[in-house]
Amino acid sequence: MMNKLKAAMMTRAMKLMTDPKVMKMLSNPKVTNVLLQAMMLKGRAEQAWSERAQVLARQLNLATQQEVDDLKAELDAVRSRESGR
């Protein structure tokens, strides 16, 4: 469902990009700056969410996904060293 929606949105966006009115609007530095800031906002929101989740995980004495992944990688390295002997 989401892939179809994403594909439809991309198709529509590509059609809009060929519209002369949209091209003129996108040539305005103020508009492009606003679009850039909007895209950066998503990244900042994801980073803030991740940081808050890490703080909460520490407070609740839980492992984060990154910590679990690191531990798995370390275990795999130990196993490969052991099997190489």
Question: Tell me: the pLDDT tens digits for 51-77?
Answer: 999 999 999 999 988 999 999 999 999
Any idea what the Cα angle at residue 14 is, between residues 10 and 20, rounded to 5°?
150
pTM over 0.75: no
Q: What is the pLDDT of residues 1-14, one digit of tens each?
A: 778 988 998 899 88
Length of the chain: 85
Token output for 76: 């795999």
**Rounded to the nearest 5 degrees, what angle is found at the Cα of 41, between the Cα atoms of 27 and 10?**
60
